[in-house]
A and B are shown apart, each in its own frame.
Chain A
């Protein structure tokens, strides 16, 4: 936007005082994350959209094909009494949805400190109901695709090709004999938002048949406290194509500042290089069922 044009690029670190990042700090935190979580990678994006304040080959971070086995409402153990509004303002603030869930982790600081122990144990759903035949009917004006199907092709007789439907219904527990799961997936991006001087998360989702999800479908994967309030559709700064869903960054610096403060109160210190890991930890409140990688052992 226009505001972005006139916001000077931060040269001096204000991380500790305000929770914001300079582009240099964003790159350092990104390098740190790419090193420890190689599913995340730097990307260049579209040549014509390169931002001069970031290195050309480190414009934003991306992780592709992140599984999202369940919809939020399938796992929603949401209970009002567990909520604590971290930041109160007229918009409702940033809601920590599981704040009082664990009696042993009664403060955010404890929860943050527990990141090292939190293995993010994934409760994978094996027999998802993917039987809905609605997918093909949603195409509106598209032609009847069955007319295009071929028979008598060599592929039909090729017995060396594994038939995926033969194993698609098997239970799949991690580590066990596995089949191909039908699942939604997401591509996640983190860009540097020059106006808010924080990282910004972008999401692009695909259904079980790898078709792009509509905005309404994606809302099913956002926590109801944040969908439509925190998540907006906007043009990606580095990618061509239609608007993408983004977690609005207006609260990020405040939350980050709070976390820094809490860690400081406990006698610890947060290095700016772990910013993105903490960032990914707190945006998990928005997208609780998207199983991206962010954790590693680090000391604070």
Chain B
């Protein structure tokens, strides 16, 4: 690399919905919501163990509406808001900018107030706009994964490196042990954490404990569960996290070291060595008084900003089902 520093780019989330979600949405529309269009809280989750080449996915399933969210073990929670519209026109004419900014503001408030240190999953939020054509079993939907933009571009001090370039194999197994210990002490898997490397040991701890470690004697990595499988890019969950880091720690750390934690198992063998470490120039945003701009609407199959549609008539329409039944 020459003097030119590379700009950091994030791999966006891709929405993954199961048919059970549409089934539950239809039920709720008929039996609970009626014409009520007010926003509903739903749950999604993401995973940092996918095989290489798969997109960063956010799963929303039949369990999305559960009051007590069922986040599978080793998955990380994302907080969603559902806007189910009564007509296709209202679906089309929504104020997309405003919807996104409303969620962005919540993220901003939670960063400023440090609420996310108590509940880091609040950094991961999504928005789902839907219109369900219940007569035809056709569902129109558009996801957003709201992220606050950093006021200035974030650049990489060095190219991303994989974990074994920083830690030896003994340290990597210690990291796995410490990580498991950290996660098993929480009620659900925590997607954001710190990794503290001192002369003789490695510790995984909560964000709120950053200040209990001395920068002079320890190396502190800001860690997060990374759903991305690319070698040179982190996934979407880093975006809001970076704003938190720059807001609270930007003036204390010259460069931010980020550990994009990836955790794969195959053939009975656990592997985190494809995790990547980023060394970033992050200028402090402490003096920022206004909520930064938000982005995050998902592109459709044509890579355009627009909704998607799914037609489930062949599997959900009782008339068509009875036709195909043997």
Interface of A toward B, CB cutoff 8 Å:
36-39, 41-44, 46-47, 62, 64-65, 67, 119-120, 124, 135-136, 138-143, 145-151, 153-156, 158-165, 167, 172, 174-181, 183, 185, 187, 204, 206, 209-212, 214-215, 239-243, 291, 293, 295-297
In the A-B complex, list the 6 residue pairs whose CB atoms are closest, starting with the nearest.
A296-B268, A149-B306, A242-B315, A181-B53, A241-B23, A241-B20
Query: How far is B16's CA from A46's CA once the two chains are assembled, in angstroms?
Result: 19
Q: Are A38 and B265 in contact (CB under 8 A)?
A: yes
Query: How far is B90's CA from A11's CA once the two chains are assembled, in angstroms?
Result: 57
Query: How far is B20's CA from A137's CA once the two chains are assembled, in angstroms?
Result: 24
Task: Number of B interface residues at 8 Å Cβ cutoff, please give it.
Answer: 80
**Which residues of chain B have C-beta atoms less than 8 A from A185's C-beta?**
54
12 residue pairs A–B, Cβ–Cβ below 8 Å: A38-B49, A38-B74, A67-B54, A150-B306, A153-B96, A153-B97, A159-B153, A160-B8, A160-B9, A162-B11, A183-B53, A296-B267
**Which residues of chain A have C-beta atoms less than 8 A from B9's C-beta?**
159-162
Query: How far is B50's CA from A185's CA once the two chains are assembled, in angstroms?
Result: 11
Query: How far is B310's CA from A145's CA once the two chains are assembled, in angstroms?
Result: 11
- A206-B16 in contact given A38-B265, A153-B97 (Cβ < 8 Å): yes
In the complex, chain B residues 1-52 whose Cβ is within 8 Å of any chain A Cβ: 7-12, 14-20, 22-24, 27, 47, 49-52
Say which one of B195-203, B211-219, B279-287, B289-297 lies at the interface with A.
Answer: B289-297
**Which residues of chain A have C-beta atoms less than 8 A from B50's C-beta?**
65
Q: Are B138 and A142 in contact (CB under 8 A)?
A: yes
Interface of B toward A, CB cutoff 8 Å:
7-12, 14-20, 22-24, 27, 47, 49-55, 57, 59, 62, 66, 70, 72-74, 88, 92, 96-97, 136, 138, 140, 149-150, 153-154, 229-233, 239, 265-268, 270, 293-297, 299-316, 321, 324
**Which residues of chain B have C-beta atoms less than 8 A from A42's C-beta?**
73
CB-contact partner of B268 in A37, A148, A164, A214, under 8 A: A37
CB-contact partner of B231 in A162, A178, A241, under 8 A: A178
Q: Are B57 and A293 in contact (CB under 8 A)?
A: no
Closest Cβ neighbor of B45 among chain A residues: A64
Q: Are A164 and B55 in contact (CB under 8 A)?
A: yes
Q: Are B301 and A158 in contact (CB under 8 A)?
A: no
CB-contact partner of A241 in B8, B19, B229, under 8 A: B19
Q: Are B306 and A145 in contact (CB under 8 A)?
A: yes
Q: Are B12 and A164 in contact (CB under 8 A)?
A: yes
Query: How far is B136's CA from A62's CA once the two chains are assembled, in angstroms?
Result: 30
Closest Cβ neighbor of A167 among chain B residues: B230
Q: Are A243 and B62 in contact (CB under 8 A)?
A: no
**Which residues of chain B have C-beta atoms less than 8 A from A65's C-beta?**
16, 47, 50, 54, 57, 59
Closest Cβ neighbor of B236 among chain A residues: A161
Query: How far is B12's CA from A269's CA once the two chains are assembled, in angstroms?
Result: 49
**Which residues of chain A have C-beta atoms less than 8 A from B24's C-beta?**
240
Could you tell me the distance in whole angstroms from the C-beta of A180 to the nearest C-beta in chain B?
A: 5
- A179-B23 in contact given A149-B304, A165-B303 (Cβ < 8 Å): no
CB-contact partner of B88 in A143, A167, A297, under 8 A: A143
**Which residues of chain B have C-beta atoms less than 8 A from A161's C-beta?**
9-10, 12, 295
**Which residues of chain A have C-beta atoms less than 8 A from B307's C-beta?**
145, 148
Q: Are A140 and B230 in contact (CB under 8 A)?
A: no
Query: How far is B315's CA from A138's CA once the two chains are assembled, in angstroms?
Result: 14
**Which residues of chain B have C-beta atoms less than 8 A from A64's C-beta?**
16, 47, 59
Q: Are A183 and B54 in contact (CB under 8 A)?
A: yes
**Which residues of chain B have C-beta atoms less than 8 A from A67's C-beta?**
51, 53-54
Query: How far is B321's CA from A154's CA once the two chains are assembled, in angstroms?
Result: 43
Q: Are B72 and A212 in contact (CB under 8 A)?
A: no
